[in-house]
Amino acid sequence: MTLRATIFALLLSLFLIPRNAFAGDDACRHQLPKELVSAIAERFPEHRTPRENDNLAEDVGWARNHGGSACLGVASGNFYGDGKMQWVVALRSKKNADSSLIIVARRSHSGWHFDKLLLWPTLASHLYVAREPPGHYERADRDPTNKNEAEQLKCEHDAIAIGETEAGQLNYCQVMGKWLSITVAE
């Protein structure tokens, strides 16, 4: 093979590599401000920020095909109702790859503040977070013995959806300074 043919083959192979094969082009990398990534690393050293390949390829593909981001571990919205942008992030455990800690991050004049929503102990490869619009949410589980959730939840501002692909979903809403949740899909 000539030098020219070798160079051409190398250049062609670079164009054929999927765009997310380069670590620097991960969809999750572009979802969070750099200062937030640093603050998360400092505050949660036992966890890391999400990556596109944390989720199954078919789930990432479905999200892309339906207009969503390939990063299923980050969503942003006005979750506190203050007109500012906040982020919900599914942090992956460094010790247990199948476990995630879901947090909400908001910026203030004194730095970053975090609320821990829940620890997701299993099936992290199926986990997603998303922004849901303001609205009235009804509990999917009508089991009268489930006393931990209200039957309804009214969100005056953006809600947070946390769930597993092809499984249940919880919606979280900030109401009078507290995070309330409701199961909206099973």
Please report the pLDDT score of residue 140 as a whole number. 83
Q: Is the pLDDT confidence value at 13 over 60? A: no
Of residues 110 and 6, the one with the higher pLDDT is 110
Q: What is the pLDDT of residue 4?
A: 52
Question: Other CB atoms closer than 10 Å to residue 61's CB: what's the count?
Answer: 12
CA distances from 81 to 27, 132, 173 (A): 27, 13, 10
**Average confidence (pLDDT) over 172-183:** 91
Total count of domains within the chain? 1
Q: Answer with the residue of higher pLDDT: 146 or 169.
A: 169
Q: Please indicate whether residue 120 or residue 6 has the higher confidence score (pLDDT).
A: 120
Instruction: Give the ranges where the chain is alpha helix by DSSP (H).
Output: 3-16, 34-43, 57-65
Q: Between 12 and 54, where is the model more confident?
A: 54
Whole-number pLDDT of residue 29:
84
pLDDT tens per residue across span 32-73: 999 999 999 999 999 999 999 988 888 888 888 887 888 999
Mean pLDDT for the stretch of residues 77-102: 94
CA distance 181 to 9: 54
In terms of Cβ atoms closer than 10 Å to its own Cβ (0-12, 13-18, 19+), residue 150 is middle
> Percent helix, strand and coil across the chain, each rounded to 5?
25, 35, 35
Owning domain of residue 100: 3-185
Assess whether pLDDT exceeds 60 at residue 121: yes
- pLDDT of 89: 97
